[in-house]
């Protein structure tokens, strides 16, 4: 459990919020909701990390609370609660936490008695800049003002002052990799990427559970390539919070060339050429889209890409092939597969005793897959991988060196019923201490009529958890949440990504208005210019998906047809009390269902208020 890490150093009281309206006459939504950030331990006890004004949450009504949780490294979670209504925010926090919160806020007189504030909570700005490390901030990929974007920040760990340029190169390479032509490419206009440099006294990251003298104290548990952990969460929190709207997700990049990382409250990565991008994409998928795993053998399967059973309608009914408008019974079938073996071995290999394990096949499946991941094995002659004594002909990914990689060996034949053995034999003694078997899995499939393995086919694919319980995912291997080396999400996750991002990003960046009143007639000449998030026709670069903006202007509720799809409305001689409005609707073939109306933005322009 984390202690309260900060004194409330600078208590700058901001004007109390007005009513929580998302629209303010002709301007971008300027009314900022309150965010309460809690750190909650495994027992449910909360500490308050911050209470601040924050970027809008779209679709959030007066009295509503938007909650987002991310797991911390310590088995607890960070909870962000956002609301316009302070009492709703407080009530939600109290119901979330096992302890009473009011007593835990230092120097907080405004809160009143324990059952909740009698007085509205005064929003306070804690000067996190005082607690944050020195940060040299540089833009990497920019699309707009942070108050209407989702901002991802790379923080430097284990880069010395002399390695500032290397940090910028590593961060730029990763930002480009995940946004230039794949993964986050289509949503790039909703994102900003930043690099925030803090020099570390020592270069590299710690091993054996011992951090080096670095900005955030990153380390590996042993020497093996696996998780990378942080030892200074309070410093990361202060660094990110000190950037305000410009830090929605903190990415800690440890200066180490090999595989490693962690998801959750902060994404931890290394700039490994082979593994940096896959780990970053995958962990951001968890934290931004708020989905669990799609690969087998884990514990958490939730979010838009997970169904617990075959009950209809299935969550991605609108993406199924054939679509749900055809025979629903036909569409919702479980693709036929079974997982007779799955283990995270995480074992160092030696030449004296091979690592082997046995599993049992029912003998009822037409095909199978041997899937495993290895590190510390740069050459084919270093290792043999055998199934029932037969060498599977493993060869390392070219150029992988000692880094970790995933291997799939598909075999278009059935396994006989009964016991089988899979064996990893280290043949090269000098690899001992480095050579590692990370994971191994066997999956058996029905033939193509029973298990459709075609990329782009959307159905119900069984995923087997740690306890071999079944849930379902939308595609076989289209998604990087299942197959980490692939660069893209499936369509279901991409739709979820749009929804998550458009919760925090309004399609209208701004409406610039100008007006003058005609003294003689009392009428008004005015203009309104829409500044839209650069999607559809306003994109800087071409994307494969089809998109459009539809713009509708009204005056006192009547559609102004001549202005449809125009970003500029200019009127002479308008009534001084007329009310104009604009609706902007974005369509993309990456979103088929928008139940919360996040693809439409609305502004009201009352001339009496702007003139
Ligand atoms: C994206 O660009 C990289 C680097 O140029 C290239 O390797 C990759 O194949 C491209 N991906 C797509 C989907 O075009
Ligand atoms: C099926 O799973 C959903 C969640 O995915 C759950 O709400 C529902 O109760 C489950 N139905 C049955 C019959 O178990
Ligand atoms: C999982 O359950 C299936 C069906 O009962 C069984 O065939 C398979 O061997 C089990 N796998 C493991 C790893 O226990
Ligand atoms: C060698 O590896 C095998 C299989 O993982 C293991 O059982 C054994 O303890 C290891 N031997 C040594 C000396 O590390
Ligand atoms: C696996 O099965 C083989 C052949 O039956 C046997 O020799 C071996 O000891 C078994 N290995 C394990 C780890 O149980
Ligand atoms: C406005 O744009 C939308 C999207 O491109 C298009 O479908 C519609 O026909 C346009 N309307 C007019 C009146 O141009
Ligand atoms: C504009 O959007 C609002 C809110 O989404 C909706 O109530 C209204 O009917 C829309 N008007 C037009 C002309 O589309």
DSSP three-state, residue 272: coil
C-alpha–C-alpha distance, residues 55 and 509, integer Å: 13
Please tell me the total count of domains within the chain: 4
Residue 438: partners with Cβ closer than 8 Å, 6 or more residues away: 225, 226, 344, 345, 346, 372, 373, 374, 375, 404
Q: Which ligand is closest in space to the CA of residue 537?
A: 6
- List, as one string, the DSSP characters of 554-606: EETTEE-GGGTT-SEEEEEEE-TT-EEEEEEEEEETT-S--TT-TTEEEEEEE
Question: Which of 38-47, 329-338, 544-553 has the largest mean confidence?
Answer: 544-553
Task: Identify the pLDDT of residue 328.
Answer: 52
**Residues 367 and 415 sit within 8 Å (Cβ to Cβ):** no
Tell me the Ramachandran region of residue 75: left when phi exceeds 0, alpha when psi lies from -120 to 50, beta otherwise. left
User: Which atom, in ligand 6's list, is nearest to the CA of 551?
Assistant: 1
**490 in a domain, yes or no?**
no
The residue whose CA has the least distance to atom 14 of ligand 4 is 350
pLDDT at residue 402 greater than cutoff 90: yes
Site residues for ligand 4, CB cut-off 6 Å: 347, 350, 352-353, 355
Q: Give residue 58 CA to ligand 2 midpoint distance, Å.
A: 28
Q: Give residue 565 CA to ligand 6 midpoint distance, Å.
A: 6
Pocket perturbation via mutation, ligand 4, pick of 343, 349, 352 by most ligand atoms within 8 A of CB: 352
**283 in a domain, yes or no?**
yes
pLDDT at residue 29 greater than cutoff 90: no
Q: Give residue 470 CA to ligand 2 midpoint distance, Å.
A: 12
349-369 residue pLDDT tens: 999 999 999 999 999 999 999
Which of 289, 322, 353 corresponds to the end of one domain?
289
Q: Bigger pLDDT: 74 or 189?
A: 189
588 and 515 housed in the same domain: yes
pLDDT at residue 205 greater than cutoff 80: yes
Q: Output the domain CATH number for residue 563.
A: 2.60.40
- CA nearest to 155, candidates 146, 166, 167: 167
Ligand 7 pocket member 552 (CB < 6 A):
yes
User: Which atom, in ligand 7's list, is nearest to the CA of 581?
Assistant: 1
**201 in a domain, yes or no?**
yes
C-alpha–C-alpha distance, residues 140 and 194, integer Å: 5
pLDDT at residue 106 greater than cutoff 90: no
- CA nearest to 163, candidates 205, 200, 206: 200
Task: Identify the pLDDT of residue 131.
Answer: 79
Q: Which ligand is closest in space to the CA of residue 563?
A: 6
165 and 282 housed in the same domain: yes
The whole model's pTM is what?
Answer: 0.91
Number of neighbouring beta carbons within 10 Å of residue 227 = 16
**119 in a domain, yes or no?**
no
Q: Which ligand is closest in space to the CA of residue 312?
A: 2
What is the pLDDT averaged over residues 119-134? 63
Task: Identify the pLDDT of residue 566.
Answer: 98
158 and 264 housed in the same domain: yes
Task: Identify the pLDDT of residue 107.
Answer: 33
Q: Output the domain CATH number for residue 343.
A: 2.60.120.260
CA 209 from centre of chain: 27
278 and 149 housed in the same domain: yes
437 and 372 housed in the same domain: yes
Which of 74, 96, 118 corresponds to the end of one domain?
96
517-575 residue pLDDT tens: 999 999 999 999 999 999 999 999 999 999 999 999 999 999 999 999 999 999 999 99
DSSP three-state, residue 118: coil
- By residue count, the chain amounts to 611
Number of neighbouring beta carbons within 10 Å of residue 404 = 25
- List, as one string, the DSSP characters of 490-520: -HHHHHHHHHHHHHH--SEEEEEEEEEE-TT
**Residues 305 and 492 sit within 8 Å (Cβ to Cβ):** yes
Ligand 2 pocket member 312 (CB < 6 A):
no
Q: What is the 3-state secondary structure (H, E, C) of 337-355?
A: EEEEEEECCCEECCCCCCE
What is the pLDDT averaged over residues 299-312? 95
What's 204's DSSP letter? S
**83 in a domain, yes or no?**
yes
**103 in a domain, yes or no?**
no
587-605 residue pLDDT tens: 999 999 999 999 999 999 9
141 and 261 housed in the same domain: yes
pLDDT at residue 145 greater than cutoff 60: yes
At 127, is the pLDDT very low, low, confident or very high (cuts 50, 70, 90)? low
Which of 387, 417, 451 corresponds to the end of one domain?
451
Neighbouring C-alpha atoms within 13 Å toward the C-beta of 503: 20
125 DSSP β-pair partners: 12
Task: Provide the terminal-to-terminal Cα distance of the chain, rounded to the nearest Å.
Answer: 54
C-alpha–C-alpha distance, residues 550 and 531, integer Å: 14
Secondary element (H or E) of residue 26: none
Strands 383-387 and 418-426: antiparallel
Q: Give residue 292 CA to ligand 2 midpoint distance, Å.
A: 17
Ligand 5 pocket member 421 (CB < 6 A):
yes
Q: Give residue 350 CA to ligand 4 midpoint distance, Å.
A: 6
Q: Which ligand is closest in space to the CA of residue 358?
A: 5
DSSP three-state, residue 174: helix
At 30, is the pLDDT very low, low, confident or very high (cuts 50, 70, 90)? low
Q: Output the domain CATH number for residue 245.
A: 3.40.390.10
160 and 84 housed in the same domain: no
Site residues for ligand 6, CB cut-off 6 Å: 548, 550, 564-565
At 449, is the pLDDT very low, low, confident or very high (cuts 50, 70, 90)? very high
- CA nearest to 256, candidates 273, 280, 239, 241: 273
Which ranges constitute the DSSP H helices of 204-302?
Answer: 233-242, 276-284
**122 in a domain, yes or no?**
no
User: Which atom, in ligand 3's list, is nearest to the CA of 342?
Assistant: 13
Secondary element (H or E) of residue 329: helix 328-331
Task: Identify the pLDDT of residue 21.
Answer: 31
C-alpha–C-alpha distance, residues 508 and 528, integer Å: 12
Number of neighbouring beta carbons within 10 Å of residue 352 = 7
Q: Which ligand is closest in space to the CA of residue 58?
A: 7
Q: Give residue 342 CA to ligand 4 midpoint distance, Å.
A: 20
Which ranges constitute the DSSP H helices of 396-487?
Answer: none
419 and 341 housed in the same domain: yes
What is the pLDDT averaged over residues 192-216? 98
Number of neighbouring beta carbons within 10 Å of residue 67 = 12
523 and 440 housed in the same domain: no
Number of neighbouring beta carbons within 10 Å of residue 68 = 17
Q: Give residue 303 CA to ligand 7 midpoint distance, Å.
A: 30
Ligand 3 pocket member 338 (CB < 6 A):
yes
51 and 164 housed in the same domain: no
Domain range enclosing 515: 507-610
User: Which atom, in ligand 6's list, is nearest to the CA of 549?
Assistant: 4
Q: Which ligand is closest in space to the CA of residue 470?
A: 3
**Residues 463 and 472 sit within 8 Å (Cβ to Cβ):** yes
Q: Give residue 68 CA to ligand 3 midpoint distance, Å.
A: 35
**474 in a domain, yes or no?**
no
% of the chain surpassing 90 pLDDT: 82
Pocket perturbation via mutation, ligand 5, pick of 343, 356, 437 by most ligand atoms within 8 A of CB: 356
Pocket perturbation via mutation, ligand 2, pick of 302, 306, 308, 460 by most ligand atoms within 8 A of CB: 308
3-state helix, strand, coil in the chain (%, to 5): 20, 30, 50
155 and 259 housed in the same domain: yes
270 and 153 housed in the same domain: yes
**Residues 576 and 37 sit within 8 Å (Cβ to Cβ):** no
Q: Give residue 497 CA to ligand 2 midpoint distance, Å.
A: 23
- CA nearest to 222, candidates 412, 368, 376: 376
480-514 residue pLDDT tens: 999 999 999 999 999 999 999 999 999 999 999 99
Q: Give residue 181 CA to ligand 1 midpoint distance, Å.
A: 6
């Amino acid at each position: 459990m984390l202690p309260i890490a900060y004194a409330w150093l600078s208590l700058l009281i901001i004007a109390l919020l007005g009513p929580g309206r998302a629209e303010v006459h002709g301007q971008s939504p300027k009314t900022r909701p309150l965010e309460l950030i809690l750190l909650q331990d495994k027992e449910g006890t909360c500490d308050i990390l911050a209470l601040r004004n924050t970027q809008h949450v779209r679709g959030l009504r007066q009295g509503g609370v938007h909650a987002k949780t991310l797991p911390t490294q310590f088995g607890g979670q960070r909870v962000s609660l956002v609301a316009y209504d302070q009492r709703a925010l407080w009530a939600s926090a109290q119901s979330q936490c096992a302890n009473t919160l009011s007593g835990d806020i230092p120097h907080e007189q405004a809160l009143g008695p324990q059952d909740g504030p009698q007085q509205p909570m005064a929003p306070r700005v804690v000067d996190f800049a005082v607690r944050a490390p020195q940060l040299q901030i540089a833009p990497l990929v920019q699309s707009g003002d942070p108050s209407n974007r989702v901002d991802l920040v790379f923080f430097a760990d284990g880069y010395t002052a002399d390695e500032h340029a290397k940090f910028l190169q590593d961060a730029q390479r990763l930002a480009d990799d995940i946004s230039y032509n794949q993964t986050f490419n289509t949503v790039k206009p909703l994102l900003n990427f930043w690099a925030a440099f803090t020099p570390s006294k020592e270069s590299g990251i710690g091993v054996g559970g011992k951090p080096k003298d670095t900005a955030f104290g990153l380390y590996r548990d042993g020497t093996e390539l696996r998780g990378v952990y942080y030892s200074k969460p309070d410093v990361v929190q202060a660094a990110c919070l000190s950037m305000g709207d410009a830090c929605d997700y903190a990415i800690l990049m440890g200066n180490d060339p090999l595989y490693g990382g962690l998801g959750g409250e902060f994404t931890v990565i290394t700039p490994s050429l082979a593994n940096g991008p896959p780990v970053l994409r995958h962990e951001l998928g968890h934290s931004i889209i708020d989905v669990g795993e799609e690969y087998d053998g884990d514990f958490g399967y939730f979010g838009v890409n997970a169904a617990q059973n075959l009950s209809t309608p299935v969550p991605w009914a609108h993406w199924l092939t054939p679509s749900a408008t055809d025979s629903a019974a036909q569409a919702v079938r479980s693709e036929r597969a079974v997982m007779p073996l799955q283990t995270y071995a995480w074992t160092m290999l030696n030449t004296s005793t091979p690592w082997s394990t046995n599993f049992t096949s029912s003998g009822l499946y037409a095909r199978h897959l041997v899937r495993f991941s290895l590190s510390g094995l740069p050459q084919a002659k270093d290792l043999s991988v055998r199934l029932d004594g037969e060498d599977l002909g493993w060869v390392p990914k070219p150029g992988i060196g000692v880094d970790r990689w995933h291997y799939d060996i598909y075999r278009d034949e059935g396994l006989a019923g009964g016991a089988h053995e899979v064996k990893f034999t280290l043949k090269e003694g000098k690899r001992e201490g480095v050579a590692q078997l990370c994971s191994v899995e066997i999956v058996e499939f029905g033939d193509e009529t029973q298990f459709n393995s075609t990329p782009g086919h959307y159905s119900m694919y069984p995923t087997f958890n740690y306890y071999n319980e079944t849930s379902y995912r939308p595609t076989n291997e289209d998604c990087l949440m299942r197959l980490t080396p692939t660069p893209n999400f499936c369509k279901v996750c991409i739709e979820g990504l749009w929804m998550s991002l458009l919760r925090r990003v309004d399609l209208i960046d701004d409406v610039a208005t100008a007006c003058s009143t005609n003294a003689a007639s009392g009428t008004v000449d005015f203009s309104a210019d829409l500044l839209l998030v650069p999607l559809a026709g306003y994109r800087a670069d071409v994307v494969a998906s089809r998109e459009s903006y539809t713009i509708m202007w009204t005056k006192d509720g009547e559609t102004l047809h001549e202005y449809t799809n125009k970003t500029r409305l200019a009127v002479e001689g308008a009534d001084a009390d007329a009310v104009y409005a604009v609706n902007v609707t974005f369509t993309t073939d990456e979103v088929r269902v928008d139940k919360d109306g996040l693809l439409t933005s609305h502004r009201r322009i009352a001339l009496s208020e702007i003139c």
